[in-house]
Amino acid sequence: MFQDTMLDPAGPVSAATRDLLFESVGLMLIVVVPVFVLTAFVVWRYRAGNTSAAYTPRWNGSRLLEMGLWTVPVTIVVLLWFVVWNRTHELDPYRTIESDQPPLVVQVVALDWQWLFIYPEEEVASVNRLVFPVGRPLTIQLTSDSVMNSLLIPALGGQIYAMAGMQTELNLKADRIGVFEGRNTMFNGNGFSAQTFTVEAMDMAGYQAFLAEARTSPNALTEESFQTLAEPTVNGPLRLYSSVAPNLFHTIMGAHGSMPHTVAEPDMSSAPHHADHAR
């Protein structure tokens, strides 16, 4: 049931997320558990039938108790502030994961109701299938050719919206080999329920084999074939493309002209962290 989810993490982001969950729940239980215990005690002890219990009908406050009531949750919340501030920065989806290897950039286009993955370095692309080497950080750049989507890979962590005309980013990494599921979580119409994709974290040999397989594909991803691919499709097949039109990702983004100045931005390295268009 919880295999390959945040409770059984396959990467550093989901592992850190799980630890954060346990820490914050632990802190909150300091406030929550007493509520259960006290309610049970008070309800039993002060039931109307128990005339031996103390009864103070006009008692309506106590400065000391009230100070305590504010102090404890304030303390816990202040502790949580530090946790939130630090971890939100550490686990910022835009933050590149530290490694001796440069991140593998994958450009993702959300379609009705499929996922297109473009590998700009390798100039290949796949549909409904994200393959990458284990141990190497992954920088996923997202946009949408349709309505708002949201990409989540429970085994690795994450989740960020994909929006037309804009680019968002998600940094993930897998620490172990495995086949996981990724999906759209943002409702987007009739094919929503089936809009999943396969996530394959492979060893280097497996990844090379995948690239080789892609390069032998007879299909080329051009602007025209992209239009065919972008037709609304439910349960679309896994596909591979042996070539990708240059700057296709930015062309798709530019086609939804909400932000004209972002149209021509062919140089990948010139799209740094804080120039992301959703920001």
Partner 1 sequence: MNTSMLLGKLSLDALPFYSPIAAAGAAVIVFGGLGVIALITWLRAWPYLWREWFTSTDHKKIGMMYVGLALVMLMRGFVDALMMRAQQAMAMNAEGYLTPDHFQQIFSSHGTIMIFFMAMPFLFGLMNYVVPLQLGARDVAFPLMNAISFWLTAAGAALVMVSLVIGVFSTGGWSGYPPYTELSYSPTVGVDYWIMALLVSGVGTTLGAINLVVTIYKMRAPGMKLMQMPLFCWTALCASLLAVFALPGLTVAAGLLGLDRYLGMHFFTNDGGGNVMNYANLFWIFGHPEVYILILPAFGIFSSVIPTFSQKKLFGYNVLVYATMCIAVLSFTVWLHHFFTMGADANVNAFFGIMTMVIAVPTGVKVYDWILTMFRGRLRFDTPMLWSIAFIVTFVIGGMTGVILAIPPLDYVFHNTLFLIAHFHNMLIPGVLFGLFAGYAYWFPKATGFPLDEAWGRRAFIFWVVGFYLAFMPLYALGFTGAPRRMAYYDQPEWQIYFVIAAIGALSVLAGIICQVIQLVVSIRNRDRTTSFAGDPWGGQTLEWATSSPPPEYNFAVLPRVNSLDAFEEAKESGQPYVWPEKYDPIEVPRNSMTGVLLGGTSFVLGFAAVWHIWWLAALSLLGVIGIVIARSFATDTTRFISADEVKAHESRWRTAVLAQGKASS
Q: Which of residues 28-47 bind partner 1 (CB under 8 A)?
A: 28-29, 31-32, 35-36, 38-39, 42-43, 46-47
Where in 137-176 is the site for partner 1 (CB under 8 A)?
Answer: 146-148, 150, 152, 154, 157-161, 163-166, 168-169
Stretch that binds partner 1, among 100-108, 178-186, 212-220, 264-272 (CB under 8 A): 178-186
Where in 80-109 is the site for partner 1 (CB under 8 A)?
Answer: 80-81, 83-85, 87-95
Cβ-based nearer residue to partner 1, 3 or 101: 3
Long-range contacts of 184-188 (CB under 8 A, 24+ apart): 184/110, 184/113, 184/115, 184/149, 184/150, 184/151, 184/152, 185/150, 185/151, 185/152, 185/159, 186/148, 186/149, 186/150, 186/161, 188/112, 188/113, 188/146, 188/147, 188/148, 188/149
Cβ-based nearer residue to partner 1, 126 or 141: 141
Cβ-based nearer residue to partner 1, 38 or 264: 38
Stretch that binds partner 1, among 25-33, 98-106, 132-140, 240-248 (CB under 8 A): 25-33
Give φ, ψ of 157 to 5 degrees.
Answer: 110, -165
Contact indicator for 201, 177 with CB cutoff of 8 Å: yes
Where in 192-251 is the site for partner 1 (CB under 8 A)?
Answer: 192-194, 196
